[in-house]
Structure 1
Amino acid sequence: MKQFFSIFLKIVIPAILIIAIFQFHVLAGIGALAVYVGIAIIRLRVRWYALRGNVAYANGNVKAAQELLDKAARTGKADAKILNGYGYLLLTQGQVEAAEEWVLQALEKSESRQDQMNSKINLSLVLWLKGEQGRAILQLRELNKEMKNTIIYGNLGYFLVLRGYLEEALEYNLEAYTFNGESKTILDNLGQTYYLMGDMEKAQEIYRKLIPMKPTIAEPYYYYACTLEQLDETEEAILQLERALEYEVSLISSIQKSMIEQKLEALRARATVQLDKQASEEEDGFVQTES
């Protein structure tokens, strides 16, 4: 129904108006038709830029994607979905102020509930990266009152963990887990919460469910490795850290790649010492038997 109404507004009504103008005056009708065609061409050009930009991003060509989405945004005819996509891309490149400009425009142009939600979620990311963590959390808390979905649960749950509100994070992430226990983000949030609160057995239980789902960011593997380290499962922890290095850290993260590398080096050194000690003990045992 909504799609039909949109077509009615964009095609049927303009067509009726153009016909009416033609009947009033031919030249005026030609002018109106020219304006309508011009607007249609601009809209098609926006879609074309956006489509090519999305394809470039999917192929890993971030520079081309940014250039194309910038062209789409600057036509002034891009809708909220395109502006949000461009804003998020800018965030991933560390261009927070530029991202904020387009995200705010997306919020103004948001017609659907989905577009509004995406704009507000992106705005919360902007606020966090600007150092306004309290406002970012407040933004998502207000949004969470309006609607409940996996993205909001995932983002707010992670913000609470990063902020160190662990008791609240545990309660909220358990609620999120009940809402969607198959979400990689929600599982990672809950696993991190348990780890930071010192409950290694429950953290391990969560990560044993998450890791087979093959997350595509470094954090789950890193925190699973940290959990395994505390449980003295050094060899498995090393394997998880090696997997963590295969992925990038997320846009907002509590870790850096250097932290993964340092922990991996330390655990490899520990494993070497353990092997040397074990070999020495076996050799001593063998010598004692011989004697």
Structure 2
Amino acid sequence: MVGIVLFFLIVAAVNRNRIYFIRGKIQYGRGNLDEAIKLIRKAVNSGRASIEATASYGFLLFKTGHLEEAEEVLVKAVQKSGTADQRNYAKSNLALVLWKKGNIDEALAMLKEVISEYKTTAVYGSLGYIAIEKGDLDYAMKINLEAYDYNPDDPIILDNLAHLYHLTGDFEKASELFEKLIEKNPRFPEAYYDYGSYLEDTGKYEKAFEMYGRALSCPFYFNSTITKDQVSERRDKVKSLIKTT
């Protein structure tokens, strides 16, 4: 009888933790990061959380700037992973922490390893961006084209490839992809900032000014690759160019 009661208590605890995780994901989808962290932390602190919940908690810590704690959580998630998919999911988030800490080579190597056996839109987005930042444009083009083939509708993948075409001077393809991207009304500032940079380089200052303004209306997080100050400076620059043309 005691064993049966204990069994049901364990099942109830597991289900409760699952509910915390699901509620946390819902709050994250709504942009309520603080509430998402509180809920997912409850699931993780129970000791019975899934690897998905633990790695997601690590990512949220990373996104809110708690690098050391995020790294600790994600390293444990990698170590406790029972399957290759679990391990790769945790590593794909750990790589972002390494990148933000300035270890871009290690982050890039880890994501290359992950993508070889765990292809997801999120991993392609992270790898595509970090490859561009690393400056190996040949590899960056290869992986971003592969990412686009995998998911041609994802805003981050679209932004990466459009930005890369801009960097490599293929303005026609850049324009096509940026227009497709903006139609999706992305919720991250880099999309509008990158398009604004392209428009600025092509002399379309008023449109660039508009895009920089839209970038500033987006939420900025610790993992954002640009700052509000950067965007404001570019917007002020094109504003002065508009006045002189």
TM-score by length of 2: 0.89
Change (3 A) 1:259 1:125: same
Change (3 A) 1:169 1:212: same
Query: CA offsets per residue over residues 146-181 of structure 1, 9 Å max, x none?
Result: 243322222111111111222221222123223332
Q: For residue 187 of structure 1, what is the aligned residue in structure 2?
A: 158
Query: Aligned equivalents of 1:87 and 1:160: distance in 2?
Result: 23
Query: CA offsets per residue over residues 90-118 of structure 1, 9 Å max, x none?
Result: 11111112112222333344345543332
Check conservation: 1:79, 1:109, Cα contact below 8 A.
no
Check conservation: 1:96, 1:126, Cα contact below 8 A.
yes
User: Where in structure 2 are the equivalents of 1:217-228 lying within 5 Å?
Assistant: 217-228=188-199
Q: For residue 50 of structure 1, what is the aligned residue in structure 2?
A: 21
Between the two proteins, the alignment pairs up a number of residues equal to: 245
Q: For residue 17 of structure 1, what is the aligned residue in structure 2?
A: none
Q: For residue 156 of structure 1, what is the aligned residue in structure 2?
A: 127
Change (3 A) 1:65 1:151: closer
Aligned-residue sequence identity (percent) comes to 36
**CA deviation after TM superposition for structure 1 residue 245, in Å:** 1.2
Task: Please tell me whether Structure 1 or Structure 2 has the larger radius of gyration of its CA atoms.
Answer: 1
TM-score by length of 1: 0.76
Which one of 100, 122, 132 corresponds to residue 103 of structure 2?
132
Check conservation: 1:219, 1:250, Cα contact below 8 A.
no
Q: Which amino acid aligns with 1:226?
A: S
Q: For residue 205 of structure 1, what is the aligned residue in structure 2?
A: 176
Query: Aligned equivalents of 1:254 and 1:90: distance in 2?
Result: 17
Question: Over aligned residue pairs, what C-alpha RMSD do you find?
Answer: 2.1
Query: Aligned equivalents of 1:204 and 1:222: distance in 2?
Result: 14
Check conservation: 1:200, 1:230, Cα contact below 8 A.
no
User: Where in structure 2 are the equivalents of 1:37-76 lying within 5 Å?
Assistant: 37-76=8-47
Check conservation: 1:84, 1:103, Cα contact below 8 A.
yes
Q: Which amino acid aligns with 1:214?
A: N
Range with bigger deviation, 82-91 or 168-177: 168-177
Query: Aligned equivalents of 2:135 and 2:220: distance in 1?
Result: 19
Q: Which runs of 5+ in 2 are unaligned?
A: none
User: Where in structure 2 are the equivalents of 1:203-282 lying within 5 Å?
Assistant: 203-249=174-220, 252-274=223-245
Query: CA offsets per residue over residues 65-106 of structure 1, 9 Å max, x none?
Result: 323322221111111121122111111111112112222333
Change (3 A) 1:141 1:56: closer
Q: Which runs of 5+ in 1 are unaligned?
A: 1-29, 275-291
Query: CA offsets per residue over residues 160-215 of structure 1, 9 Å max, x none?
Result: 11112222212221232233322211111111112223333332222122111211
Query: Aligned equivalents of 2:67 and 2:186: distance in 1?
Result: 26
Determine whether 1:143 maps to 2:126.
no
Check conservation: 1:219, 1:249, Cα contact below 8 A.
no
Q: Which amino acid aligns with 1:180?
A: N
Query: Aligned equivalents of 1:250 and 1:65: distance in 2?
Result: 15
Which one of 67, 82, 86 corresponds to residue 96 of structure 1?
67
Change (3 A) 1:118 1:235: same
Query: Aligned equivalents of 1:149 and 1:45: distance in 2?
Result: 28
